[in-house]
Amino acid sequence: MNKFTLVTGGSRGIGRAVCLRLAQAGQFIIINYKSNELAARLVSEEIIAAGGRSEVLQFDVANREQVRAALTRWQEANKDGIIDVLINNAGIRNDSLLPMMSDEQWDSVIDTGLQGMYNVTRHLIGPMAMNRGGRIINMVSLSGLKGMPGQVNYSAAKAGIIGATKALAQEVARRNITVNAIAPGFIKTDMTEGLDEKELISLIPARRFGEPAEVAELAHFLVSPAAAYITGQVISINGGLYC
């Protein structure tokens, strides 16, 4: 059976770095995107130019029907294939103090992060279990571990995913499926643009922001055979900011 890796929100930032690193390791990468087709295709072309294998797949993780339709069509077109590695990376920030937060700000962040993780994982976990093997990595955040002011919605979404990670890991461990979460701190991506980097660096023991490639290396390890006994864990990568 042909095996595939799906990275949601794989067209930019940490998702892009994960796509490139796992492709380098020989995995066939499916790059999910919501609206930026050009960015997703550029990542795919970069992978293919380097000798890897890749394709793009459009759907909005927050839209359950889109997720079901897109993944069902993919499975029908790849009857001898299985998505046995899932990186739930898609997520958005829409920051505001709670008294000023709109319903749309709350809903959009929860729907993309927490609900999106459910929508995609729920569709793929059955085939993984039947195949008796798989790897799931949920990208969470420092915000989900300690909470961040101005990010009640984002912290809630990521904390919910952390709880789901721990619970699902126990449900599927006997099927040789591992479920882990990676909790980055401040990483140089478009999601951290606009933050006061100089001020924040003073709070980080490592005295710098992390690089997307460093997060991608951790993801690569967690999907490798060497990590087969690691499951239900939340691994921080934050330069010592929160231990």
Active site residues: 154
What is the phi/psi pair of residue 31, to 5°?
Answer: -95, 110
Cβ neighbours of 136 (radius 10 Å): 27
Provide the token pair at 115: 């609900």
The answer to whether the CB of 29 falls within 8 A of the CB of 10 is yes
With b meaning 16 or more CB within 10 Å and e meaning fewer, what string describes 59-69? bbbbbbeebee
The answer to whether the CB of 185 falls within 8 A of the CB of 142 is yes
Single-letter residue type at 137: I
